Amino acid sequence: MPDRHMITGGAGFVAATLARRLIAEGNHVLLIDDLSRGSLANLGDLAGHPRLRFRQIDCADVEALRAATEEWLGTGDHGPDSGGAVVWHLAANSDIPAGIDDPCIDLRRTFLTTFAVLQAMRDLRLRTLHFASSSAIYGDLGDRVAEEDAGPLAPISNYGAMKLASEAQISAAVETFLPRASVFRFPNVVGVPATHGVILELVRKLRADPAVLDVLGDGTQRKPYLHVEELVDAMLFVAARVPGRHVVCNIGPEDDGVTVREIAEAVRDRVSPGAVIRYGPEPRGWVGDVPCFRYSVTRLRDFGWSPRLGSAAAILRAVDEIAGQENA
Amino acid sequence: MPDRHMITGGAGFVAATLARRLIAEGNHVLLIDDLSRGSLANLGDLAGHPRLRFRQIDCADVEALRAATEEWLGTGDHGPDSGGAVVWHLAANSDIPAGIDDPCIDLRRTFLTTFAVLQAMRDLRLRTLHFASSSAIYGDLGDRVAEEDAGPLAPISNYGAMKLASEAQISAAVETFLPRASVFRFPNVVGVPATHGVILELVRKLRADPAVLDVLGDGTQRKPYLHVEELVDAMLFVAARVPGRHVVCNIGPEDDGVTVREIAEAVRDRVSPGAVIRYGPEPRGWVGDVPCFRYSVTRLRDFGWSPRLGSAAAILRAVDEIAGQENA
């Protein structure tokens, strides 16, 4: 592994865990974030580490991104020619309903950030990109299992559309200038620092009203969940073993997931055991939500990686962590 | 069919034929084009037709696009509430190598035009979109046949990436606000008014030097070709029969195509029979070019449409037409 890593969306949920791992392994890390949704507080005691740099930049701004990266590459104890940096492109709009209300949000934060990252990598001759894609690119597959090579790909949210659009750009970049890219299709990821997602939402609702927990959708939505520590572990594992120029890999647990009902009950049991849970009438929580989802992780297993926690165990651990984070 | 149709890329190659058909069928047509590559000359005697309006607008400019469309919808012999217009989104950068040199070209002209069209349709509550996608979204499939529902989709040019990215946006739009969309994946399309493409290039080379014809690539590239008159016929046929909210349909001939060698020979025979043809060493003409391509048209045939001309006959007809256009 090279010793320099740049992470976009560097003040976000996944980046906090990734940066911690990379720093612990002795690497130098540059975090880029516009702080529109991320926060330096997510970095905890990592902020101020001597091998960590943070720059507040809109990652969709090619000029600013290139300048900041170039400056970082030329400073500190690395010479400017010591081989570039590995780029982890995690910046994206994580608020899916917001992107449905205003498509410009996903355009700018999810798609144009990828465009800018690729432009900057091309200009600075950076050779390795790891990209956080999403199961949302598959759309609603019904009973079919999401396999990396399957089609059709028909995303049903702007978030999924802009992630698929980003994958398309990366595919063309690999053909034209980028030596190495891995595309990781994330499942639902849980853990701390929680910035969004169903567990955080439910914990906060119960803190506001400990007697009643209103749940979006009828609670039957079933999805696979992975703990963020394991997600980062899987990415680092595959990144060290990418066989060719371009790999696309689902990351997820090996089970079919848990239902919203199970999550709601786990939150209730941890935060307010006497609360009543009330469900909505529809299977979907919001437009663009995929009610059920089954994920193939055969490729990931073929790489040699398997999670230690299944979906249910990941949820229980995350509920406990997030309740702690929220002092609930 | 409704009587009003808006065509983006309205001064381009395919739009000229589409507009002629729509006008001939009694419809009113608004053409939008920034004239960056298209030309009013492509419209020939259609320009000035009383049911045809042309507006020079950058289709990626949402405000301008919406304003021009709204104004057109409110004028003439239609009331403003008479049911909107059908949108044919054909605007795109058609110069694939240019887009590889500068990805901003494909970003703006191919991807952001789709974004703007969808925004304008949402704002104006227009209900039907027909989109010109491309076989380039499939990337290099090797021996596999390109079927609409197959994966993976790994475009190898920015052009293909931005077309796939546009398809992704449309998929999400159908889920969230757009009642009807058809996505037509075009093969190589030939005919007049020719504005780009291999035949025009070869005709012009032979006019410049009637003794020698230099061909990019070794001549073995084989692709399916359709005549533009038949492409437009197929689109109108399918558009009138779309069964659901969202259809994706390859449009192409029923054969495996013709080679660049056959095209070069047809051009030589028509323009300068004594010329020597010289080929390059590599199968690919340029980075991002797909050397061989096989196209499934089962879905198109299931709709009930078949072309009258195969690839070879389409090429012969187009060579003759383009030689005439260029006075060669």
What distance in Å separates the CA atoms of residue A181 and residue A168, rounded to the nearest whole number?
A: 12
Residue A60 has pLDDT above 80, yes or no: yes
What ipTM is given for this predicted complex? 0.89
Tokens of B205: 């080379």
List the single range of A274-288, A310-324, B51-65, B265-279 with lowest mean pLDDT: A274-288
Tally the residues of chain B. 328
Kindly state whether B175 is in contact with chain A, defined as any CB-CB distance less than 8 angstroms: yes
Q: Judge: B115–A137 Cβ closer than 8 Å, yes or no.
A: no
What span, in angstroms and rounded, lies between the C-alpha atoms of B244 and B242?
A: 6
CA of B119: which chain A residue's CA is closest? A103
Closest A-chain CA to B170: A161
Q: How far apart are CA A79 and CA A310, in angstroms?
A: 44
Interface test with A, best of B138, B171, B299 (most A CBs within 10 A): B171
Q: What is the pLDDT of residue B285?
A: 64
Q: Is B99 on the interface with A (CB under 8 A)?
A: no
When scoring B169, B245, B284 by the number of chain A Cβ atoms within 10 A, the one with the most, hence best to mutate, is: B169
Whether the CB-CB separation of B13 and B196 falls below 8 Å is answered with: yes
Decide if A279 touches B, using CB distance below 8 A: no
Q: Which residue of A has its CA nearest to B165?
A: A165
Q: How confident is the model at residue A286 (pLDDT cuts 50, 70, 90)?
A: low
B276/chain A closest Cα distance in angstroms: 32
Cα(B52)–Cα(B44) distance, integer angstroms:
13
Q: Does residue A74 register a pLDDT over 90?
A: no
pTM: 0.92
Summary mean pLDDT of chain A = 92
State how far residue A168 is from chain B, nearest Cα, in angstroms: 5
The pLDDT tens digits of the residues spanning B91-115 come to: 999 888 888 888 899 999 999 999 9
Sign of the Cα pseudo-torsion (A187, A193, A197, A203, in order): positive
Closest CA to B187 of B145, B154, B149, B151: B145
Confidence of residue A239 (pLDDT cuts 50, 70, 90): very high
Q: Cβ of B136 under 8 Å from any chain A Cβ?
A: no
Counting other chains too, the contacts that B77-83 makes at CB distance below 8 Å and 24 or more residues apart are B78/B3, B78/B4, B78/B28, B82/B4, B83/B2, B83/B4
Contact assessment for residue B13 and residue B39, using Cβ atoms and an 8 Å cutoff:
no
**Chain B residue at shortest CA distance from A176:** B287
Q: Spell out the alpha helix ranges (H) of B4-111.
A: 13-24, 62-73, 96-101, 103-106
Count of CB pairs separated by less than 8 Å, A with B: 114
What's the pLDDT tens digit per position in B184-232?
999 999 999 998 889 999 999 999 999 999 998 899 888 899 999 999 9
Question: What SS3 class is residue B213?
Answer: strand
Q: Annotate B222-262 with DSSP letters as a single string.
A: EE-EEEHHHHHHHHHHHHTT--SSEEEEE---SS--EEHHH
C-alpha pair distances (Å), A254 with each of A121, A251, A309, A316, B316? 34, 9, 9, 17, 56
pLDDT at residue number B300: 96
Rounded to a whole number of angstroms, the distance from the CA of B91 to the nearest CA of chain A is 18
- With an 8 Å Cβ cutoff, are B115 and A107 in contact? yes
The answer to whether A111 faces chain B, any CB pair under 8 Å, is yes
Per CB-CB distance under 8 Å, the chain A contacts of B171 are 139, 153-156, 161
According to the model, what pLDDT value does residue A287 have?
A: 65
Provide the β-strand partners of residue B188. Answer: B225
Length of chain A: 328
Quote the CA–CA distance of A130 and A178 in Å, as a whole number: 11
Chain B interface includes A123 (CB < 8 A):
no
CB atoms A175 and B156 under 8 Å: yes
What pLDDT is recorded for position B2?
Answer: 53
Which of A100, A119, A164 is the closest to B168 by Cβ?
Answer: A164
Q: Closest-CA residue in chain A for B100?
A: A176
Measured in angstroms, the CA of A215 and the nearest CA of chain B are apart by 22
Contacts of B133 (CB under 8 A, 6+ apart): B163, B164, B166, B167, B183, B184, B185, B186, B248
What are A297-308's pLDDT values in tens digits? 999 999 999 999
Q: Cβ–Cβ contacts within 10 Å for residue A89, how many?
A: 26
Statement: residue A15 has pLDDT above 80 = yes
A156 CB neighbours in chain B (<8 A) are 171-172, 175-176
Mean local confidence (pLDDT), B113-135: 96
> Quick check: A79 pLDDT over 50?
no
| B107 touching A (Cβ < 8 Å) | yes
Measure the CA–CA gap between A229 and A227, rounded to whole angstroms.
5
A175 touches chain B (CB under 8 A): yes
**Within chain A, where are the H helices?**
13-24, 62-73, 96-101, 103-106, 112-124, 158-176, 198-208, 228-239, 260-271, 298-303, 311-325
Does any CB of chain A come closer than 8 Å to the CB of residue B160? yes
Q: Does B290 touch chain A (CB under 8 A)?
A: no
Q: Does B246 lie at the interface with A, CB-CB under 8 angstroms?
A: yes
Q: Tell me if A149 and B151 make a contact (CB, 8 A cut-off).
A: yes
Which of B151, B169, B175 is closest, CB to CB, to A151? B151
Q: Write out pLDDT tens, residues A203-216.
A: 999 999 999 999 98
